[in-house]
Structure 1
């Protein structure tokens, strides 16, 4: 059925060197429209000179853009990389002019600085202008300042911030119905509270859980050594010099051979010179194996060994890189007299106490991703997917996510809660959706705490789109 919608025009303003990131902006807007937009009957429309302008004479280029569509936009997403752009009649670049127009009109500005580019070939004067503008923009505290170092991160960064901007815009509207006002009066008799849990009981104090790995590396290494000895005890003959016309000699895959060899070197294990020899084992038509039972057994054992070695390397990688980390699970409880809608939780914690593990998960080498399946990650951090929550389609280990080519995308999604740093305070922003009266719901991800931290204190703020009140508090260990 037809429905009425409200359209907001979103201007993309950027110099040409970051224009190739426009697809990430477009995808972020599409995601917003398919999620928050559908719920609120709102549509965000992307505007940019390449799609929103027409030929016109008698005015400067920037003046034409301003009159045709720029000044009618509601939001601007400004992106800078290594170039500042070409000067206009009033400003050092068209992007700067458009941003200043929005700031002067009191409109929303999302200022994004791409910090992961190779700027060696960029005109130094252009790069200097970008840096000066960034410092001026930061010192004047204008708009929202969003740095990012990977191009693909722009999409998820914008999704989070567009959602937060719009939901708080809705919350700030003054056209509340009488029924809603009465509901809010009742709400203030109770509260939305943040508490912590060990997944068994909820506490008003900080409860930290140990990070325990469900495997014994020493035993695994012993098992690997025994399997190496078993393989070496299998005797096969020397390969024949020639094979038949429709036969191909069987050899160990290079990546398997490399994994086993490296493991042996790192653990002081000497491999026999013929360790990888499969004798006269051949592949004939239709991939059938032709050879002795010993040769077939050796091939199968080497393949199993290679898989176990790769899995062990990943396990050791996690153990080495997540030492000294504890988990803090958080929950929100609803003690108000109405359902909380579109609940946002902001956690503030000192930088020295906070550990951000995204780099650990992203550091898994490409060659090992085929052994990092959902079950492995699920068991590596105990209970990490125990809570259910609703944010961008489910949790990290949802079966709909393939564990191979989409691993990086999923990990980015999972760890990319909105994060800001102000002086020595880290601010984490989570959306937990709706929460019914009397219910308790987990925040989407545990907070990773440095194990050696003492006197930890975190502050929290909780807002709901249907409650004109911000609930605040703090927890200490």
Structure 2
């Protein structure tokens, strides 16, 4: 019956004074292959430069040995006695180079130092000193756990136990990984609107804001047409007190406490509306700002702390109605312009939303996710410009920060399950007199605006050289479900390609999942 046997190449690396140990290792590995190795379906293949290298030119001896069989080996057994060996270009000896390179490449190293008795006449003191110094370095650098032996029998027992334990644990670990991979699969997914995608999706909120801007523009055009359709009939003022038309201004009724002047719609206000019309190819007509004989009445004895307005209007109903519509139009144009500027702020900013997906068959809990990506083009939300003063309260009241930059909650994607960081919008206000309305300062609204986004920060952030590291925590994730990350990532500029590395660990799977998600090439 055929079997799938895993073959491991093990290199024996040692100076020339280690001789009898080589024969012991040969015997131990042969015994392993016919006993434990047979049951584990593992076979060990021992290699040594004396039997597995060939004469070659074109480089330093150690470099050629590395290329022939050492670099491709799965693990290495290193033994030091009383000799360090011959130095190489960069290392204390060939054995030291092979060992340190194996460690740097995350390969298993079995390291041993011989303390067997040796005749003093057979010891090279300088070589012995180098071995002692190297042993101290290994301890100080904390790069390996080594063992010592006092006799050849001691060495045989130690190497036999080490090989058996290592491969028994390796097989067990491999079986756990295979079992896990069959039942569980945690990964990251991109979010495209409310749907999942295997790639990162680059979104842009300007597209969503453009819909708002388009609706605002349509409302302005309708309002402009309404104002243009208002007909102002010129009225001749008559001083005859016998005429009592409500549409006629009667100067004799103006009290000395009031000051009456012709109403003047400011040039700056006209300019705001006119510029909007010109930019959108709208014809206002020559009488668009004409308000007939509309007058402004100023109460010269008005006391501001009593509330109300110091000014009032007097004129025909059509004149007063048109004036109010013009004021409304100006306010709407200013809001429209703020929406355009807000959209322009994010026109060159990519918005990325991610989800954690469990495509496996087991429930996952206490999940830690670490994201790692280049800091190139990455920007913090706090580094963007806030909305203008005419719309910032509307943005806050409608919770557009959550809508645009927060989590996704749809049929296929659950909302983030972390603890809430929501900042209360309740503000302590100073007592105000009746008739007055509290209007928050723009600076206060800006602070509230950025606080709204800060409340979405359910992660820890670190900087590591040219990389940004973000750490998230998810309470749980059922089988075949997805959960949104709490906030979107922002990247400025044109991105030809973006890669986000990630690591995932859960209570049910302590083994780290390492992968990456990218934009579609």
Q: TM-score, normalised by structure 1?
A: 0.46
TM-score, structure 2 as length reference:
0.43
Higher CA-based Rg: 2
